[in-house]
Structure 1
């Protein structure tokens, strides 16, 4: 965790691509429900996704492969869909270098089990996106308490 004036500040990185709608929804929920000191970083596979997350309340953002590869090493938590650890996901926007950097990051990863990349996670039941985002918020709050 980062320190700001002696107070531990959680740095959360939200990663999304394509239209950026999932990242936007996650960022909005986090911003509304976490302490204002919480730093939310928006990483998009494209500028549109990043812009939507910034508009939703992210503190900072960047787009593209190098931004993702460099930033995931310096974060406390990574949030996104399961696709962010799958090379060539999001219609090819998620590069192998991005997927590897995210998967190899020491930060805990909170991933949405959305079946958009041909992977079914057994034992996970389909829920509406707003319910899944509520689960993300709970996991983040649990991490903050530790």
Structure 2
């Protein structure tokens, strides 16, 4: 069982997600930190990711085997994150059989309507709680 956390730029969001997952998931669940750049990957590894990898091919190969994929919804938009998200990455995430959990952080010219505006940490908490529910972990 593995959970892939995707992030780019400085890895701030991904590292927060990894930190909470590592605190709350059983030790048999591996958390992978996949970054679009080495800074993002290093940030997630520092927070305890079991494995980390960087770049387009590493992301494409690893998400294909993921049970869960967590990250900003920007991961579904080619060329977002200042061009760090490639079309190949978007396609790999979309084609993965894993359950995708998106946090609605978008580029400036994208908008989602009918969602509650919540602080980032509450959105991350909801993503982690969703995974726990899917795994029937509850409050252990």
> What TM-score do you get using the length of structure 1 for normalisation?
0.90
- Is residue 28 of structure 1 aligned with residue 19 of structure 2? yes
1:16, CA displacement in angstroms?
0.1
Residues 79 and 109, structure 1, Cα contact 8 Å, conserved in 2: yes
User: What is the distance in 1 between the residues matched to 2:104 and 2:89?
Assistant: 18
Q: Which structure 1 residue ranges, 5 or more long, are not aligned?
A: 1-9
Q: Root-mean-square deviation (CA), in Å?
A: 1.2
Partner Cα distance (2:102, 2:8) in 1: 14
Segments of 5+ residues of structure 2 without an aligned counterpart are none
Structure 1 match to 2:71:
80
After superposing on structure 2, the runs of 4+ consecutive aligned residues of structure 1 that deviate more than 4 Å are none
State the distance in 1 between where 2:126 and 2:109 align: 22
1:56 matched to 2:47: yes
State TM-score, norm by structure 2: 0.94
| Counterpart residue number, 2:32 | 41
How many residue pairs get aligned? The number is 137
